[in-house]
Structure 1
């Protein structure tokens, strides 16, 4: 396979694929309520997925300001579980955010950067809601395995869409190369395997690329990354919001409010 031509996916990006199925009704989206929109700093959004009652999995680059390159205060990030048509099944601000220890936002776009483009968000309070259930995570899928993506994007910000017809083309340097036609797709969107009829998260959308002129989606394999991220949380590392923010909600495009946060050094 020829070398990958990489481009990172921006917040609030677009996925251009006619195979997307909207999950804009309760019946259509019932199984996917653990996928939610991450409203970030009142200016943009990514997609995240609940993997425990208090942890959301997303892409690391979602947590950085594109202009300054600085980490975004977790108090300015809110997870809207199952967001559709102006309402969510649960609303939670983020208390702590950890990224892969080897991730370098300012580094050159490369397979290494994609491989480490994984983050965990610890919510202010666990989501214990019978309609919003965490997803299991699964082992790295093999070449030819069927996968699917559930994501929000700029042209479908009010409801997620499901693409379940992708396949794994290759695994290179810890990066999954998938046939999903994601042209500036929603960052941090969970990539699912469906072995045994159970959706399990096996990666998150990180970047787009071209392979021999064909557009593909790239994501990191999760096993080692998740182990490292859980270790970071256990060690108390990451950006921490000590108290619940006073503001009621961060609205994309709305005014910003100052809330304190600190960085807990290793």
Structure 2
């Protein structure tokens, strides 16, 4: 079995410093970024940021650990999270605060890095007001990719905090227990970044980025399987009435999981 050593990506703290990989296409101009404005930067309590993507006019898909304050390990109030759709060089195509947020019930922010933490690292955010803009089209989601499939990642990171970048194309190396292992380069800020399939010429989200890792000494990234969780999280948001301004307390349950035997270490 492929040995995977994992480094949780985490949010990028605004005061932090981290190097980032090469081989990325900047989407910094309006022409380069055309069609990608549904990907945006998530501002987390003014202290950190992640990447998220619209999958409906009022719903943003991201990683569960983006809902936590990295300095206190506490949930950030939903009202302190803002989605900057198509953020580029100091301006966004749309600005929206978050009304409610839910994540997988089996996700534990304080747990050590293991298969359960990564495979459950998915969250859905409900915006206070839908984004209805003809230039911002929510992305569709699709089945998880298979080994050997080509994918791409659009993300904001330390070296690309003011405009998104596209890595096209990287490859799905393998899948194991809800985790998708990819050759894509990621780093701080890339948490929650959408992973796209470009089959049939139309980008569809097939995963989100949770962590970076090494597989047999080769840098890789780890994505979350979206089959099942998105529909369940949608239902949880619909049922989470009366929770405006705070993260949703009703969360998705999980089935049984098995240990892969992979070795995980902290960054």
CA distance in 2, matches of 1:80, 1:52: 15
What aligned pairs does 1:105-254 form with structure 2 within 5 A after superposition?
Answer: 105-184=109-188, 186-236=190-240, 240-241=244-245
Point out where structure 2 has 5 or more consecutive residues left out of the alignment: 252-267
In 1: Cα distance, 2:134 partner to 2:107 partner: 34
Give per-residue Cα distances to partners, 1:89-108, cap 9 Å, x unaligned. 10000000100121111112
SS at structure 2 position matched to 1:196: helix
Aligned to 2:72: 68
Write the distance in 1 (CA, Å) between the matches of 2:135 and 2:106.
35
Residue in structure 2 matched with residue 2 of structure 1 by the alignment:
2
Distance across 2 between alignment mates of 1:30 and 1:74: 29
Separation (CA, whole Å) in 1 of partners of 2:2 and 2:9: 21
Superposed displacement of residue 237, structure 1: 6.9
- In 2: Cα distance, 1:51 partner to 1:84 partner: 20
Superimposed CA distance per residue, residues 127-173 of structure 1 (whole angstroms, 9 cap, x where no aligned partner) = 00001110000101100000000000121111000001211000011
Could you tell me how far apart the structure 1 residues matched to 2:147 and 2:82 are?
A: 35
- How far apart in 1 are the matches of 2:6 and 2:241? 30
**Distance between the aligned counterparts of 1:128 and 1:180, measured in 2?**
31
Q: Secondary structure at the match of 1:232?
A: helix
1:184 to partner: Cα distance: 4.1
Cα contact 2:75–2:247 (8 A) shared by 1? no
Question: Structure 1 residues 238 and 38, CA, compared in 2 at 3 Å: closer, same or farther?
Answer: farther
- Write out per-residue CA displacement over residues 18-53 of structure 1, whole angstroms, 9 at most, x where no aligned residue: 210000111100110100000110111110000000
12-21 or 157-166, which deviates more: 12-21
Matched, 1:99 2:77: no
Q: Secondary structure at the match of 1:113?
A: helix
Post-superposition Cα deviations, 1:58-104, rounded to whole Å, max 9, x if no partner, equal: 00001111222111101111000001011111000000010012111
Partner of 2:12: 12
Contact 1:239/1:263 (CA < 8 Å) preserved in 2?
A: yes
Residues 49 and 265 (structure 1), Cα distance of their counterparts in 2 relative to 1, 3 Å cut:
closer
Specify the SS of the correspondent of 1:227: helix
Comparing 176-185 with 57-66, which one deviates more in the overlay? 176-185
- Secondary structure of the equivalent of 1:226? helix
- Unaligned 5+ runs, structure 1: 242-260
Is the 8 Å Cα contact of residues 118 and 179 (structure 2) preserved in structure 1? Answer: yes
Figure out how many residues of one structure are paired with residues of the other and give that number. Answer: 247
Aligned-residue CA RMSD (Å): 1.8
Alignment TM-score, normalising by the size of structure 1:
0.88
How far the C-alpha of 1:230 sits from its partner, in A, is 1.4
Q: Which of 63, 73, 79 in structure 2 is aligned with 1:59?
A: 63
8 Å contact 1:81–1:89 — kept in the other structure? yes
Q: CA deviation at 1:228?
A: 2.0
| C-alpha distance 219-201 of structure 1, shift in aligned 2 (>3 A) | same
